[in-house]
Amino acid sequence: MSQAWADHLDLLIRARTPILWIRSQEEERIATLLAATAQRLGNRALARWDFISGLSGLPNREGEAARNPLAALEALAPLAPDQAAILVLHDFHRYADDGSVCRKLRNLAASLRQQPHTLVITAAEWQLPRELEECVTVLDLPLPEQEEIRALLQGIARACGQTLEGDLLERLSHSCSGLSEQRIRQVAARGLARRGALGEGDLAEVLEEKRQAIARSELLEYCPSEATPADIGGLDALKRWLEQRQQAFSDEARRYGLPLPRGVLLVGPQGTGKSLTARAIAHSWEMPLLRLDVGRLFAGLVGASEARTREMIQRAEAMAPCVLWIDEIDKGFGSADGGRSDGGTSQRVLASLLTWMAEKTSAVFVVATANGVEKLPPELVRKGRFDEIFLLDLPEATERRAILDLQLRRRRPEHRLPLEVVVDRTAGFSGAELEQVVIEAMHQAFSERRDFGEADLVAAAAQLVPLSRTAREQLEALQQWASSGRARPASSCSHTGSGTNPAS
């Protein structure tokens, strides 16, 4: 735990803050930290209460107030006014909606300011009643830092007669970054049960634990990817930019003075390679890819969406270094009424996300994709939110050739088909539509039990109506928006002045 956090906790208690809410579900770790705080502040009494076991830690009062939250709030009353004490209440947020409990908390908030007593409520989530908003001070408990993780792993190893140090300790501690203390103990326990000692094999265990954490969240999707930049036709300017940003994650870049990259916004019509680019970034950078469906952040209860956003951010940082892919961000935050129809929830969630992106110090690279910009909030696309905004436009002739060749070689590695006519007949096709041309041509030839050729590709292209014809106005508006300097072209062979490109 950072010294700054411990000092802040000490300050709040010394300042007679009456009610603290430590926002975390790590009860054992909170107990350890509060015990150290109580000792630092002159051996203050430290008691705890939960609904099943009642009170503990107060002489001659073990088990009192079990199943009685209101009685638990009376636990400090018999203490002498000068006897400093901390009372930890577990899961107490579940009872704060009761009128009598809420009233008692408000009364205590006033009286405890005159006494060296502090109530500490532990809960991962809590929608504070309006009456308690001025009474409760919120303190977020961050995940264990590197020094804590190293000490924890060394302690576990010593308990088993093992000395853990050097490169192995560093690698294990870095891999455990972002896990809770309880999860680290579980990973270590599995490693000890299988191999009798902590070692290289635990690195895979840690990654699997992080994958399980993502699966449990229901907010993020872990997306394995085998895509590489070579699987993308065109987008050469974007690829060069990404190569530069990859180097900025190194320790050498930190010493040079470069900040960690924040992320990139990819805008373009459907089928131009935005999703494939996100997958290729994660694979080529050797980072986990986490996909966020923005719709999952929005829940029915008031305040739940904000809590889910905090949880999503915490879980993404737990996987760092990683790529966070926010898919179709325009659908999640694009609202014609500015968020009024949902009571401003989408605006608050967006504000939380943008604040985190601007202030984050973790190696989470955000890749946001959008099909259009007409619904995107202005605060999302203004300069500085992302490292850069790229327009992935429809592919030029040379890029269409590259995409068709790539798609054909995936299915016929030794193909020698001429492509000049097909390239000419597919002007305005997206990368996904070019792939469909190849597949349709193969279907036609296979149904006749023969190999396919150039004529089949030309016939398939003639049958397909591309998006550039059915949504011409939207595409022209997007290109005009980008050409005003709001986005960089993802391809160097753009002819619109904005960035006409492809992808596969």
User: pLDDT for 429-456, tens place per residue?
Assistant: 999 999 999 999 999 999 999 999 999 9
Per-residue confidence (pLDDT) for residue 502, from 0 to 100: 39
Neighbours of 39 (CB within 10 A): 11
Per-residue confidence (pLDDT) for residue 348, from 0 to 100: 86
- Residue 465 CA to its chain's centroid (Å): 38
Neighbours of 84 (CB within 10 A): 19
Biggest alpha carbon distance in the chain?
94
Per-residue confidence (pLDDT) for residue 496, from 0 to 100: 45
Closest of 47, 115, 52 to residue 87, by C-alpha: 47
**CA-CA distance, 190 to 61, in Å (whole number)?**
38
Per-residue confidence (pLDDT) for residue 346, from 0 to 100: 82
Tokens 């470069």: give the residue: 258
Give residue-wise pLDDT tens across range 35-74. Answer: 999 999 998 999 999 999 999 999 999 999 999 999 999 9
Helix, strand or coil for residue 294? helix
| Residues whose CB is less than 8 angstroms from the CB of residue 372 and which lie 6 or more positions away in sequence, other chains included | 267, 330, 474, 478
Per-residue confidence (pLDDT) for residue 153, from 0 to 100: 93
pLDDT of 421 > 80? The answer is yes
- At residue 50, what is the residue type? D
Cis amide linkage into residue 466, ω under 30° from 0 = no
**CA-CA distance, 224 to 354, in Å (whole number)?**
26
**CA-CA distance, 261 to 322, in Å (whole number)?**
12
Per-residue confidence (pLDDT) for residue 372, from 0 to 100: 80
> What is the token pair recorded at 17?
């803050």
Closest of 157, 149, 304, 284 to residue 218, by C-alpha: 304
Pairing of strands 117-123, 45-50: unpaired
Domains and their CATH numbers in the chain? 3-140 (3.40.50.300), 146-217 (1.10.8), 229-391 (3.40.50.300), 397-429+431-465 (1.10.8)
8 Å CB contact between 371 and 269:
yes
pLDDT of 323 > 90? The answer is yes
At residue 504 the predicted structure's pLDDT band, cuts being 50, 70 and 90, is: very low
Mean pLDDT along residues 472-497: 80
**CA-CA distance, 386 to 277, in Å (whole number)?**
16
Closest of 339, 338, 326 to residue 385, by C-alpha: 326
**CA-CA distance, 304 to 375, in Å (whole number)?**
24
**CA-CA distance, 498 to 391, in Å (whole number)?**
7
pLDDT of 225 > 90? The answer is no
Give residue-wise pLDDT tens across range 163-175. Answer: 888 888 888 887 7
**CA-CA distance, 271 to 431, in Å (whole number)?**
6
Per-residue confidence (pLDDT) for residue 254, from 0 to 100: 85
**CA-CA distance, 224 to 282, in Å (whole number)?**
9
Tokens 């915490």: give the residue: 314
Q: What is the DSSP letter of 199?
A: -
Question: What kind and span of H or E run contains 246?
Answer: helix 236-247
Give residue-wise pLDDT tens across range 391-418. Answer: 999 999 999 999 999 999 999 988 889 9
Per-residue confidence (pLDDT) for residue 498, from 0 to 100: 37
Per-chain mean pLDDT for the chain? 88
Higher pLDDT, 74 or 361: 74
Per-residue confidence (pLDDT) for residue 343, from 0 to 100: 64
Question: What kind and span of H or E run contains 488?
Answer: strand 488-489
**CA-CA distance, 105 to 95, in Å (whole number)?**
11
Per-residue confidence (pLDDT) for residue 37, from 0 to 100: 96
Question: What kind and span of H or E run contains 391?
Answer: strand 388-391
Distances in Å between the Cα of 164 and the Cα atoms of 112, 150, 303 are 46, 9, 44
Mean pLDDT along residues 99-124: 95
Q: What is the DSSP letter of 154?
A: H
Mean pLDDT along residues 5-23: 96
Distances in Å between the Cα of 425 and the Cα atoms of 9, 138, 419, 458, 468 are 69, 63, 10, 7, 14
Distances in Å between the Cα of 346 and the Cα atoms of 124, 148, 265, 385 are 22, 36, 19, 17
Higher pLDDT, 305 or 456: 456
Per-residue confidence (pLDDT) for residue 483, from 0 to 100: 83
Give residue-wise pLDDT tens across range 247-302. Answer: 998 878 888 999 999 999 999 998 899 999 999 999 898 888 999 988 888 765 65
pLDDT of 501 > 50? The answer is no
Helix, strand or coil for residue 366? strand
Tokens 């970054």: give the residue: 177
Mean pLDDT along residues 146-168: 89
Higher pLDDT, 339 or 120: 120
Per-residue confidence (pLDDT) for residue 205, from 0 to 100: 82
pLDDT of 210 > 60? The answer is yes
∠ at Cα 15 (141, 71), nearest 5°? Answer: 75
At residue 195 the predicted structure's pLDDT band, cuts being 50, 70 and 90, is: confident
Closest of 214, 173, 181 to residue 314, by C-alpha: 214
8 Å CB contact between 112 and 119:
yes
Query: Which residues partner with 367 through β-bridges?
Result: 264, 325
Per-residue confidence (pLDDT) for residue 89, from 0 to 100: 98
∠ at Cα 52 (19, 57), nearest 5°? Answer: 60
For residue 322, the number of C-alpha atoms closer than 13 Å in the C-beta half-sphere is 29
